[in-house]
Structure 1
Amino acid sequence: MAKADKTIAVAGAGSIGCYVGGCLALAGRKVVFLGRGRIVEAMCKDGLRVSDLDGRDRRIGPEALTATDDPATALRDADIVLVAVKSGATQEMAAEIAAHGRPDAVVISLQNGVGNADRLRAGLPGRRVLAGMVLFNVVQSPDGETPFRVHRASEGDVRIEDGVDGLVDLLDVDGLAVEARADMKAVQWSKLLFNLNNALVALCDLPLATQLADRRWRLILADQVDEALVAMKAAGIKPARIAALPPALLPKVLRLPDWLFKLLARRMLAIDPNARSSMWDDLQRGRPTEIDELQGAILRLAQKTGVAVPLTKRIIALVRQAEADKRGPPGLGPDAVTGGLRSA
């Protein structure tokens, strides 16, 4: 797959989409951003700033960017479509790609959860759709900061489903490491274990690094992961190893005393001090969260296999209440989150 003549559409110009697309554009790839509202307006006016935990801090001027809210403009010439919308918009985006995209375009889901690539395939029969997963955290600049900035706030790379020659070469650029995997379902389930913390960050209203450094919060995350691993095992799902730590050992490491956790889990704590979670950002902006794609996926698996997941149910209920209240992250403490409930 030649690099210079390929057009890449980023379908979903949010935090992840702007970071991935920004790195690609900075590397000379032809990128079109598809988004809505303030972000597209900000990019068209002042450009895009892309920074990361490793010290890169780069800017693309507005004259070098193509950003639009028109699906036809963004999708009609795209060889590759990177889908980075929230899970709730997956079916809508599949319909836009079906209406405006080229039939031979390769579509890659870079979304949270385990079911979005399947939803895209259902909406795009006969087209090449690949699963993908972003294994790092991206935060946006505060409203009003110019140019609009996206910052990779943790370590990690992008994994995509194997099967298209030259695709990794096209997408693997400075600031954006990409690896092809044949076991993407297992990768997705493993990332889901880590993403269970998104809800806790949203509920406690603390920065991710602060929250993870506190054993009281790690115990709740460990209990959630235990519930998820039991449900996965009952369903015959074996999560892949995507980090230095095997998934089965994650609860044990999370339960370590603070001093030992900080010593042994330095990479897990290599996070920008201001980083939060996308679910925190959703509550902050009064938007629906992806709780149904994260904890909800574990609950559905548990219901199919007859496994009890009481803590998972409680956290889903708390996030849904926060969504309904529309007052932003509720700032709950550990005891208020568990309600005295601990998983088996």
Structure 2
Amino acid sequence: MKLCIFGAGAIGGLMAAKLAAKGDVDVTVIARGPHLAAMQARGLKLISGGEERVVHPRCVASAVEAGPQDYVLITLKAPALAGAAVQMQPLIGAGTTIVSAVNGIPWWYFHKLAGPYEGRRVTSVDPDGEIGRLLPPERVLGCIIYPAAEVVEPGVILHTYGDRFSLGEPDGSRSERAGALAAALVGAGFKAPVRPKIRDEIWVKLWGNMAFNPLSALTTATLDVITGDAELRSIVRAMMLEGQAVAEALGVRFAIDVDKRIAGGAEVGAHKTSMLQDLEKGRPMEVDALLGSVVELAEMTGVPAPTSRMILALLRTRARLAGCY
């Protein structure tokens, strides 16, 4: 199996390190800058569970150097996807599977979704359809990321918790390609269930992100503050109930209730969300993937979402003024 990780930051580096250590997958990492230089010079170091391991996957700067792959895992932030889709083309051969591990509502969301919205485009994440053209939905295998990791220095990944990557076909089938990738991930030490309803998991993860991330960027508060403040918690709850109504209008079912999901966020403690981290570092924020898309789908399904719409307007202005949108 030839597998390329495009955007090998924290999560991509974690996956690359464990897959390369197992040795039965031909792993290629595409990265850039000091991170790439460090991996090429000294290998990729993974710190996990108090142990350190250095592996040496093939590390290159471009898709041209890597060539066609069996699987291409996309572990980028959503705003980077449009530009990256063009760069990925040399990786995509006749039988390549594109593994979408991007946060929020993905560009392929309505592919093979039975019902009145099948085949629709999510314009907030793929405005002109170019992503869908370059990364055809029929090639896509969904992936939900649960681990947490960070690049503590170039070439060094610290894995803090979690080991599950849920996989799922857009049409809910148990395909050979999903099974093969799941087996490779399990062999590397991950949990990799293949889910028949991958969109349910997309929404459970997005459920918290659509509220916690925007409020953290607007207030600079950590999760413990947001969930512990009665006024902020009420805004979170209102947004999440709106998101739940949108998702259920699209056929999604939630296995937990909103208060349990908020409690789960509170348990994380004094954590800065990814959106707040991006704001502080002047990086593009996942505004549309995490909230703009929810508001778009609310309009599509006719579900009222006044709180989410208001927060989105504030968030977009905040991001624009900071040069992060």
Q: Are 1:114 and 2:114 an aligned pair?
A: no
Partner SS state of residue 193, structure 2? strand
Aligned partner of 1:105 in structure 2 is 96
Partner of residue 224 from structure 1, selected from 230, 239, 243: 239
Instruction: Map 1:1-344; keep pairs closer than 5 Å.
Output: 6-28=1-23, 29-52=25-48, 55-60=49-54, 64-74=56-66, 76-117=67-108, 122-125=133-136, 128-141=139-152, 145=153, 147-153=155-161, 155=162, 157-161=164-168, 162-163=174-175, 164=177, 165-174=179-188, 176-196=190-210, 197-208=212-223, 211-212=226-227, 214-233=229-248, 235-241=249-255, 246=256, 249-251=257-259, 254=262, 265=264, 271=268, 275-326=271-322
Provide, for residues 250-285 of structure 1, a one-character-per-residue CA deviation record: whole Å limited to 9, x for no partner: 23663xxxxxx5xxx5xx5564x6743221222122
Percent same amino acid at aligned positions? 25
Q: Is the 8 A contact 1:72 1:101 kept in 2?
A: no
TM-score (norm 1): 0.74
1:159, distance to aligned residue in structure 2 (A): 1.0
Aligned residues: CA RMSD: 3.0
Moved more, 43-52 or 217-226: 43-52
TM-score (norm 2): 0.78
Provide, for residues 38-72 of structure 1, a one-character-per-residue CA deviation record: whole Å limited to 9, x for no partner: 322333344333345xx2443325xx132222111
Partner SS state of residue 180, structure 1? coil
Q: Is the 8 A contact 1:7 1:31 kept in 2?
A: yes
Number of equivalences: 295
Q: Is the 8 A contact 1:137 1:277 kept in 2?
A: no
Q: Is the 8 A contact 1:104 1:127 kept in 2?
A: no
Partner SS state of residue 115, structure 1? coil
Question: One-letter code of the match for 2:54?
Answer: I
* 2: CA distance, partners of 1:58 / 1:157: 20
Q: Is the 8 A contact 1:222 1:252 kept in 2?
A: no
Q: Is the 8 A contact 1:103 1:127 kept in 2?
A: no
Q: Is the 8 A contact 2:72 2:91 kept in 1?
A: no
Question: One-letter code of the match for 1:89?
Answer: A
Q: Is the 8 A contact 2:208 2:261 kept in 1?
A: no
* 2: CA distance, partners of 1:42 / 1:274: 31
Question: One-letter code of the match for 2:164?
Answer: D
Question: One-letter code of the match for 1:17?
Answer: G
Change in 2 beyond 3 A, CA 1:69/1:277:
farther
Change in 2 beyond 3 A, CA 1:278/1:252:
closer
1:228, distance to aligned residue in structure 2 (A): 1.1
* 2: CA distance, partners of 1:65 / 1:309: 46
